[in-house]
């Protein structure tokens, strides 16, 4: 009886799980000889596929209103290149989302990207890079894009 009661209490504690944001996918921009001719520079802007990354909002706890901030955590990134993100779908589920349809710059400090209500899956994200140039030294650059959900 006692162990059952103990496990029940622990179960209650663990069961009250926090809200979750989950992102799946990654984005790889790559250039090659085929992108330019001698004398030319790369196109200053380039976009990813519109559905390369998807974001889910899960397990909300209280009012179900939330906002998501986006930021980046540079591993090896050149400041000459700016990253922009936008959502290309509204997702599906019992909630809705607003904001984020126009490109927002992703900076090292978190900034609100979109807001919403309720649980949503499959909010697709598209990225744009600005500042691509031959001036950029040949290398492979990395950064992590971080999404933080705040329940309101």
Partner 1 sequence: MKIITSILFVLCSILTAFGQSYWDHDEHGLSLKMPEISLVTVMPLNYTVNLSLSLPTSAGGEPGVSDEGRDDNTWLNYSVGRRANASYRKVYAQITSGSIPSGLSLKLEVKNLQSQGRGSCGSRYSEETFLSNQPQVVVTRIGSGCTNRGKSFGHQLIYELKLDDINDLRVKEPTTYLTITYTISD
Instruction: Tell how strand 96-98 and strand 53-58 pair up.
Output: unpaired
The CA distance from 33 to 20, in Å, is 42
Beta carbon of residue 125, minimum distance to partner 1 (angstroms, whole number)? 9
Rg (CA), the chain: 20
Order of strands, sheet of 65-76, starting from the edge strand that comes earlier in the sequence: 65-76, 111-117, 96-98
Beta carbon of residue 87, minimum distance to partner 1 (angstroms, whole number)? 14
Which CB atom, from 18 or from 109, has the smaller least distance to partner 1? 18
Binding site for partner 1 (CB under 8 A): 2, 5-6, 9-10, 12-14, 16-33, 36-41, 53, 61, 72-73, 81, 83, 127, 129, 132-151
Beta carbon of residue 152, minimum distance to partner 1 (angstroms, whole number)? 8
The CA distance from 131 to 19, in Å, is 36
Beta carbon of residue 115, minimum distance to partner 1 (angstroms, whole number)? 14
Residue partners of 108: CB distance under 8 A and separation at least 6? 71, 72, 73, 74
Which CB atom, from 20 or from 98, has the smaller least distance to partner 1? 20
Which CB atom, from 23 or from 118, has the smaller least distance to partner 1? 23
Which CB atom, from 88 or from 151, has the smaller least distance to partner 1? 151
Instruction: Tell how strand 92-93 and strand 120-130 pair up.
Output: antiparallel
């Amino acid at each position: 009886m006692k162990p059952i009661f103990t496990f029940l209490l622990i179960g209650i504690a663990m069961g009250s799980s926090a809200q979750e944001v989950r992102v799946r996918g990654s984005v790889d921009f790559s250039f090659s000889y085929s992108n330019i001719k001698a004398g030319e520079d790369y196109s200053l802007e380039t976009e990813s596929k519109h559905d390369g990354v998807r974001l889910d909002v899960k397990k909300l706890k209280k009012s179900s209103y939330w906002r998501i901030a986006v930021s980046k955590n540079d591993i090896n990134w050149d400041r000459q290149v700016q990253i922009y993100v936008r959502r290309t779908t509204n997702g599906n589920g019992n909630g809705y989302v607003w904001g984020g349809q126009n490109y927002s710059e992703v900076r090292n400090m978190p900034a609100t990207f979109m807001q919403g209500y309720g649980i949503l899956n499959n909010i697709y994200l598209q990225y744009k890079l600005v500042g691509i140039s031959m001036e950029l030294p040949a290398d492979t650059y990395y950064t992590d894009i971080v999404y933080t959900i705040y329940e309101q």
